[in-house]
Amino acid sequence: MRGGFAAFWILMAILEVSRRWNPTVVDWLGPAGPWLVLVVTLLPVIETVREFRQGRPVQAMKTALWSVLGIVTLLYGPSWLRF
């Protein structure tokens, strides 16, 4: 699951770099951008609860750290990824 989170954030970084070169690149994403970030912010929290219940607190904390990227992006990220 953490590999999927890493892939998502790498993709968002690539899209942001390409958006800075050509602003029309992320127009296809439209209003879905902030919702995708919100989902990818909440999924690690859900996975963290699941891992705590399985008795794996270290893995749970590693997973929970992925939600920090989403929180920072929603608060201070590029405008096309914020509400």
Please check whether residue 19 is in contact with residue 80, taking contact to mean a CB–CB distance below 8 angstroms.
yes
- pTM of the predicted protein model: 0.84
Q: What percent of the chain has pLDDT over 70?
A: 100
Residue 53: CA count within 13 A, CB half-sphere: 6
> Is 90 exceeded by the pLDDT of residue 83?
no
Q: Name the domain count of the chain.
A: 1
Domain containing residue 57: 2-81
